[in-house]
A and B are shown apart, each in its own frame.
Chain A
Amino acid sequence: MRWHHRLYVMLRGLFGWSTLDRELNEELTFHFDRQVQSNIDSGMTLEQARRAASIAIGNLETIREASRDERTGAWLRQFARDLAYGLRLLRKAPAFSICAILIVATGIAAVTAMFSVVDGVLLRPLPFPEPDRLVQIWMHSPRYARDAVSAADRRDWQAETTAFEGIALYNPYANFNLTDGTGDPERLLASRISANSLSVLKVTPALGRGFLQGEDEVGNERVVILGDALWRRRFAADPGIIGRQIRLSGVPHEVVGVMGPDFPFPERPFDLWVPLTVNPKEMTREVPPFGLRCIARLKPGVSIEAAQSQLDVVAARLASRYPMNKDAGVTLIGMQENLVGDVRRALYLMLAAVGALLCVAALNLAALLSARAATRHREIAVRLALGASRQRVLLQSIAETVPILTIGGALGIVAAVAAVGQFIPIAPAALPRLDSIAVDRRVMAITIVILTITGIIATIVPALQAWRTDLTAASRETGRGSSAGPRQTRTRLALVVAQIALSLPLMTGAVLLARSFVAVASIDPGFNPDGVVSMHLAIPRSKYRDDPAIARFEGRILERLQQVPGVQSAAFVNRLPLFGVAQNAFVEFEQRPNEPILYGRRVIAADYFKTMRIPLIEGRTFQPVDDGAAPIVAIIDERVARQQWPGENAIGKRLRFPARGSVDPPSAWMEIVGVVGHVKHDGLDADSIGQIYFDYRQTTQDRAVIVARVTENPTAVMSAMMAGIRELDPEQPVYDPRTLNDVMARSINSRWLSMTLVGSFALIAVFLCSIGVYGVIAFGVTIEQREFGIRLALGASRVGITSSVVSRGLMLAGIGSIAGLVIALALTRSLSSLLFGVTANDVVSFSTATVTILAVAFLASYLPARRAAAVEPAITLRTE
Chain B
Amino acid sequence: MGKPTDLVQGTVDLLILKTIALEPMHGWAIAQRIRQLSDEILQVQQGSLYPALQRLEKQGWITAEWGASENNRRARFYKLTRAGHKRLTQEEAAWQRLSSGIGLVLKKA
Residues of A within 8 A of B (CB): 1-2, 5-6, 9, 13, 23-24, 26-28, 30-31, 33-35, 37-38, 56-59, 62-63, 66-72
Q: How far is the CB of B34 from chain A (nearest CB, A)?
A: 14
Residues of chain B lying within 8 A (CB to CB) of residue A67: 50-51, 53-54
Say yes or no: A70-B54 contact (C-beta < 8 A), given A30-B74, A37-B71: yes
Q: Which of B15-23, B55-63, B91-99 contacts its partner?
A: B55-63
Which residue from chain B places its CB closest to the CB of A64 in the assembled complex? Answer: B50
**Which of A33, A38, A57, A68 is close to B46, meaning CB atoms less than 8 Å apart?**
A57
Highest count of chain B CB atoms <10 Å: which of A9, A31, A37, A62: A31
Can you list 30 residue pairs at the A/B interface with Cβ under 8 Å?
A1-B82, A1-B83, A2-B83, A6-B60, A9-B57, A27-B26, A27-B50, A28-B46, A28-B50, A30-B26, A30-B28, A30-B75, A31-B27, A33-B73, A34-B69, A34-B73, A34-B75, A56-B46, A57-B46, A58-B45, A58-B46, A59-B47, A63-B47, A66-B47, A66-B50, A67-B50, A67-B54, A68-B54, A70-B54, A70-B58
Inter-subunit contact B50/A35 (CB<8 Å): no
Inter-subunit contact A58/B47 (CB<8 Å): yes
Residues of chain B lying within 8 A (CB to CB) of residue A1: 82-83
How many residues of B are counted as interface, with CB atoms below 8 angstroms from the partner's CB atoms?
26
Residues of chain B lying within 8 A (CB to CB) of residue A27: 26-27, 50, 75-76
CA distance A438 to B53 in the complex (A): 53
Residues of chain B lying within 8 A (CB to CB) of residue A62: 47
Which residue from chain A places its CB closest to the CB of B63 in the assembled complex? Answer: A5
Which residue from chain A places its CB closest to the CB of B53 in the assembled complex? Answer: A67
In addition to A33-B73, A56-B46, 11 A-B residue pairs with Cβ atoms within 8 Å of each other are A1-B82, A23-B76, A28-B50, A30-B76, A34-B71, A34-B73, A35-B28, A63-B51, A66-B47, A71-B54, A72-B58
Q: How far is the CB of B87 from chain A (nearest CB, A)?
A: 12
Report, nearest first, the 3 A-B pairs whose CB atoms are least far apart.
Answer: A70-B54, A66-B51, A34-B28
Residues of chain B lying within 8 A (CB to CB) of residue A58: 45-47
**Which of A2, A35, A57, A68 is close to B60, meaning CB atoms less than 8 Å apart?**
A2
CA distance A410 to B103 in the complex (A): 64
CA distance A35 to B58 in the complex (A): 27
Inter-subunit contact A31/B57 (CB<8 Å): no
CA distance A1 to B81 in the complex (A): 11
Residues of chain A lying within 8 A (CB to CB) of residue B81: 5
CA distance A492 to B28 in the complex (A): 57
Residues of chain B lying within 8 A (CB to CB) of residue A5: 60, 81
Residues of chain A lying within 8 A (CB to CB) of residue B60: 2, 5-6, 9
Q: How far is the CB of B50 from chain A (nearest CB, A)?
A: 5
Q: How far is the CB of A870 from chain B (nearest CB, A)?
A: 59
CA distance A149 to B9 in the complex (A): 83
Residues of chain A lying within 8 A (CB to CB) of residue B83: 1-2
Inter-subunit contact A70/B73 (CB<8 Å): no
Residues of chain A lying within 8 A (CB to CB) of residue B71: 34, 37
Residues of chain A lying within 8 A (CB to CB) of residue B32: 38
Residues of chain A lying within 8 A (CB to CB) of residue B52: 70
CA distance A6 to B61 in the complex (A): 11
CA distance A71 to B51 in the complex (A): 9
Q: How far is the CB of A59 from chain B (nearest CB, A)?
A: 8
**Which of A2, A6, A24, A37 is close to B50, meaning CB atoms less than 8 Å apart?**
A24
CA distance A1 to B50 in the complex (A): 25
**Which of A6, A26, A57, A69 is close to B74, meaning CB atoms less than 8 Å apart?**
A26
Say yes or no: A31-B51 contact (C-beta < 8 A), given A6-B60, A9-B57, A71-B58: no
Inter-subunit contact B50/A63 (CB<8 Å): yes
CA distance A66 to B48 in the complex (A): 8
CA distance A56 to B83 in the complex (A): 32
CA distance A462 to B83 in the complex (A): 44
CA distance A641 to B60 in the complex (A): 95
CA distance A72 to B75 in the complex (A): 23
CB contacts under 8 Å to A, within B1-43, are 26-28, 32
Residues of chain B lying within 8 A (CB to CB) of residue A72: 58
CA distance A28 to B26 in the complex (A): 11
Residues of chain A lying within 8 A (CB to CB) of residue B45: 58
CA distance A313 to B82 in the complex (A): 75
Q: How far is the CB of B58 from chain A (nearest CB, A)?
A: 5
Residues of chain A lying within 8 A (CB to CB) of residue B51: 63, 66-67, 69-70
Inter-subunit contact B69/A30 (CB<8 Å): yes
**Which of A23, A30, A35, A38 is close to B73, meaning CB atoms less than 8 Å apart?**
A30
CA distance A56 to B32 in the complex (A): 12
CA distance A6 to B53 in the complex (A): 15
Q: How far is the CB of B103 from chain A (nearest CB, A)?
A: 32
Residues of chain B lying within 8 A (CB to CB) of residue A59: 47
Residues of chain B lying within 8 A (CB to CB) of residue A56: 46
Q: How far is the CB of B47 from chain A (nearest CB, A)?
A: 5
Q: How far is the CB of B71 from chain A (nearest CB, A)?
A: 7
CA distance A13 to B60 in the complex (A): 13
Which residue from chain B places its CB closest to the CB of A31 in the assembled complex? Answer: B28
Residues of chain A lying within 8 A (CB to CB) of residue B26: 27, 30-31
Which residue from chain A places its CB closest to the CB of B50 in the assembled complex? Answer: A67
CA distance A63 to B47 in the complex (A): 5
Residues of chain B lying within 8 A (CB to CB) of residue A2: 60, 83
CA distance A380 to B32 in the complex (A): 43
CA distance A67 to B76 in the complex (A): 15
Which residue from chain B places its CB closest to the CB of A2 in the assembled complex? Answer: B60
Highest count of chain A CB atoms <10 Å: which of B28, B46, B51: B46
Residues of chain A lying within 8 A (CB to CB) of residue B53: 67
Residues of chain B lying within 8 A (CB to CB) of residue A68: 54
CA distance A62 to B60 in the complex (A): 24
Q: How far is the CB of B74 from chain A (nearest CB, A)?
A: 7
Q: How far is the CB of B13 from chain A (nearest CB, A)?
A: 11
Residues of chain A lying within 8 A (CB to CB) of residue B57: 9
Q: How far is the CB of B1 from chain A (nearest CB, A)?
A: 15
Q: How far is the CB of A367 from chain B (nearest CB, A)?
A: 42
Residues of chain A lying within 8 A (CB to CB) of residue B73: 30, 33-34
Residues of chain B lying within 8 A (CB to CB) of residue A38: 32
CA distance A38 to B45 in the complex (A): 16
CA distance A843 to B51 in the complex (A): 71
CA distance A851 to B54 in the complex (A): 66
Which residue from chain B places its CB closest to the CB of A8 in the assembled complex? Answer: B60
Q: How far is the CB of A78 from chain B (nearest CB, A)?
A: 16
Which residue from chain A places its CB closest to the CB of B75 in the assembled complex? Answer: A30
Inter-subunit contact B69/A63 (CB<8 Å): no
Highest count of chain B CB atoms <10 Å: which of A1, A9, A34: A34
Which residue from chain A places its CB closest to the CB of B76 in the assembled complex? Answer: A27
CA distance A676 to B57 in the complex (A): 95
Q: How far is the CB of B33 from chain A (nearest CB, A)?
A: 13
CA distance A63 to B57 in the complex (A): 16
CA distance A72 to B76 in the complex (A): 19
CA distance A2 to B54 in the complex (A): 16
Say yes or no: A9-B58 contact (C-beta < 8 A), given A30-B28, A30-B74, A35-B28: yes
CA distance A565 to B42 in the complex (A): 110
Residues of chain B lying within 8 A (CB to CB) of residue A34: 28, 69, 71, 73, 75
Q: How far is the CB of B27 from chain A (nearest CB, A)?
A: 5
CA distance A63 to B55 in the complex (A): 13
CA distance A58 to B51 in the complex (A): 14
Q: How far is the CB of B37 from chain A (nearest CB, A)?
A: 16
CA distance A62 to B51 in the complex (A): 10
Inter-subunit contact B46/A31 (CB<8 Å): yes
**Which of B47, B55, B74, B82 is close to A70, meaning CB atoms less than 8 Å apart?**
B55
Residues of chain B lying within 8 A (CB to CB) of residue A6: 60
CA distance A71 to B74 in the complex (A): 23
Which residue from chain A places its CB closest to the CB of B70 in the assembled complex? Answer: A34
Residues of chain B lying within 8 A (CB to CB) of residue A37: 71
CA distance A585 to B58 in the complex (A): 84
Q: How far is the CB of B107 from chain A (nearest CB, A)?
A: 37
CA distance A67 to B54 in the complex (A): 6
Which residue from chain B places its CB closest to the CB of A57 in the assembled complex? Answer: B46
CA distance A67 to B81 in the complex (A): 20
CA distance A1 to B32 in the complex (A): 32
Residues of chain A lying within 8 A (CB to CB) of residue B58: 9, 13, 70-72
